[in-house]
Amino acid sequence: MLLPALDWHPQPRLERLHLDWLAHASVEVAVLRLDRIDPLISGNKWFKLLHHLLAAHQAGAAGVMSLGGAYSNHLHALAAAGKRFGFPTVGLLRGHPRETPTVLDLKAFGMTLHWLGYEGYRRRHDANFWTPWQSQYPGFWPVPEGGAGLPGAQGCMTWASCARDQLAALGWEDYHGWWLACGTGTSLAGLVLAEAGKRPVHGVLAVPEGHGVRQNVESIVSAAGLADPHYELFDGSRGGFGRVDSDLAAFIETTQAIELEPLYTGKALMLLKARVEAGAIEPGTRLIFVHTGGLQGRRGLE
Catalytic residue positions, numbered: 72
Q: 38: closest CA among 18, 11, 64?
A: 11
The per-residue DSSP string of 245-298 comes to -HHHHHHHHH-TTS---TTTHHHHHHHHHHHHHTT-S-TT-EEEEEE---GGGG
Angstrom distance (rounded) from CA 273 to CA 49: 31
Q: Give least dist CB 295 to ligand PLP, A.
A: 8
**Cβ-based nearer residue to ligand PLP, 82 or 149:** 149
Q: At closest approach, how far in Å is the CB of 205 from ligand PLP?
A: 9
3-state class of 299 per DSSP?
A: coil
User: 6: Cβ–Cβ under 8 A, 6 or more apart, which residues?
Assistant: 50, 53, 54, 57
Closest residue to ligand PLP: CB criterion: 294
* CA nearest to 32, candidates 11, 50, 51: 11
Q: Considering Cα of 52, then 58, then 59, then 65, what sign does the dihedral take?
A: positive
How far apart (Å, rounded) are the C-alpha atoms in residues 74 and 36?
16
Residue closer to ligand PLP, measured from CB, 211 or 273: 211
* Residue 219 Cβ vs ligand PLP, minimum distance, rounded to whole Å: 13
Spatial CA neighbour of 13 closest among 213, 166, 148 = 166
Closer of 154 and 292 to ligand PLP (Cβ): 292
**Shortest reach from residue 44's CB to ligand PLP, in Å:** 5
Residue 216 C-beta-side C-alpha neighbours within 13 Å: 26
CA dihedral (174, 176, 181, 186) in degrees, to 10, reads 80
Q: Would residue 22 be called left, alpha or beta, if left means φ above 0 and alpha means ψ between -120 and 50 degrees?
A: alpha
Q: Which is nearer to ligand PLP, 88 or 149 (CB)?
A: 149
Least distance in angstroms from the C-beta of 73 to ligand PLP: 4
Q: Name which of 44 and 112 has its Cβ closer to ligand PLP.
A: 44
Pick 5 or 217: Cβ nearer ligand PLP:
217
Under the rule (CB under 6 A), what is the footprint of ligand PLP?
Answer: 43-44, 73, 146, 181-188, 264, 292-294
Q: What's the min distance (Å) between Cβ of 182 and ligand PLP?
A: 4
Comparing CA positions, the residue from 239, 260, 241 lying closest to residue 250 is 260
Please provide the distance, in angstroms rounded to a whole number, between the alpha carbons at the two ends of the chain.
38
